[in-house]
Chains A and B, each alone.
Chain A
């Protein structure tokens, strides 16, 4: 893990601002109609004209994303742990997991909506399914990739499989868990939105779908802006947590 460049965050903000400015200028200079591409100022205006609508939709979507991520995370960590402690199960379970992973969620999402209705449950399930796989694969490889010299040491202590797991494999897998989180956290947002898109009583996906069917692009883009901001914040939060928890990783291993 590299230390952040001094001012790295500011540079990212500047680039985004610059991009928005170019967008704004391009739209106003070329007179692109608003039903094709609204200017950022117009999008932000829409956002602030309907604060309650967007706040409620965001809360719902983020809640679903968060709940799904949590379930996917727990399931991934649990199953990875189980497969590490009982390696005989690995091949069978991983085949099932890949089968699940290869099934297009775009096809499953409407089915879940048909079976479970327009509530939050199908959204949480889709999100959990989507976030589960990166966690499973990364954490499993983290648990299995304990270093040889450490394994030899634990062998010389005649440590039990459980002790090796608890004192060596689990802490060793923490950096892998964070690598998975960096992939799964943005996926959680996508999962919740895609699930809402296929039928929901609320949420940003629902707002986007309504805006899309009415060709109301400022409404659509406002939701996209919120999602982008939420994705960024989630990612930064993950990195922040990682720096605090995996303090030994910024240094070469002894």
Chain B
């Protein structure tokens, strides 16, 4: 799914006006895995919420394959995963997946079974367990399986692994890439972690402190699996970090 954002502005009234996004232009081609990086409070979550149709922009336009966010949402083409796995505690592992599958049944034609989705994230042996008996990493894997079974054209991910420890986060990032590979939906992935962004994404977009503006846009043309100890990786790392620091200093 193609994402076209033009002259997007969003201001919160709390009640004094607080601009969160300023004049954002962004074009994400279909199937691209794009990471969005920016300082805390710069409007990353706001951007994803606007695309998901959870918020209405103050001005500007968002088109998803030519549809408005509301239309794309009604077509159930946009999947959402945030920092909390948002599992339903009264349902089992398979129950959580089955509910997503059931509520989306009209669109899915049931290509993937619950069991297959669980296998993809290595949870097939925990199908009957309840979410509260799972570790944080397993819970987020379950949320990934639920994301996968929706078979959406666009994945909006707001720091999905931020609450996890380093090792688990790396495992899940690698798993996310595996899950993305076969169908290659468009991914908009918000993260605070520059390493993580460069290891996974094809493109890294840097936003300025609030109100968020695009200050840099890097294309990461490195083959997978990516190694951090290559000069190309280190160069990009340096450039992204510099762009981020400059944006923060300019705003200060």
Residue of A nearest to B75 (CB): A158
Quick one: closest A residue to B103, CB to CB?
A157
Interface string of A159-192 (1 = CB under 8 A from B): 1000100011001001000000000000000000
Stretch of B6-14, B80-88, B118-126, B230-238 at the chain-chain interface = B80-88
In the complex, A174 Cα to B89 Cα: how many Å?
12
Residues from chain B with a CB closer than 8 A to the CB of A247 are 130
A167 touches B103 (CB 8 A): yes
* Pair B104/A152 contact, Cβ less than 8 Å: no
Residues of chain A contacted by B100 (CB below 8 angstroms): 157
B71 to chain A, nearest CB (A): 10
User: In the assembled complex, how far is the CB of residue A64 from the closest CB belonging to chain B, in whole angstroms?
Assistant: 34
B84 CB contacts on chain A under 8 angstroms? 149, 254
* A147: B residues at CB distance < 8 A: 86
- Chain A, residue nearest B150 (CB): A157
Counting contact residues on chain A (CB < 8 A from B), the size range is: 20 to 34
A49 within 8 Å of B by Cβ?
Answer: no
Give, as a whole number of angstroms, the nearest-CB distance from A48 to chain B.
46
From the candidates A159, A168, A174, A248, name the one contacting B132 in the complex (CB within 8 A): A248
Q: Is the CB of A155 within 8 A of B54?
A: yes
Q: Is A9 an interface residue (CB 8 A)?
A: no
Q: Does A101 contact B (CB under 8 A)?
A: no
Closest to B104 in A: A157
Contacts of A150 in B (CB 8 A): 86, 88
In the complex, per-residue mask of B102-134: 1 if CB is within 8 Å of any chain A CB, else 0: 011000000000000000000000000011111
Closest-by-CB residue of A relative to B158 is A152
Enumerate 22 A-B pairs (CB-CB under 8 Å) in ascending A order: A149-B84, A150-B88, A152-B82, A152-B86, A155-B52, A155-B53, A155-B54, A155-B80, A158-B74, A159-B103, A163-B103, A167-B103, A168-B88, A171-B88, A171-B90, A174-B90, A248-B89, A251-B132, A252-B132, A254-B84, A254-B87, A254-B89
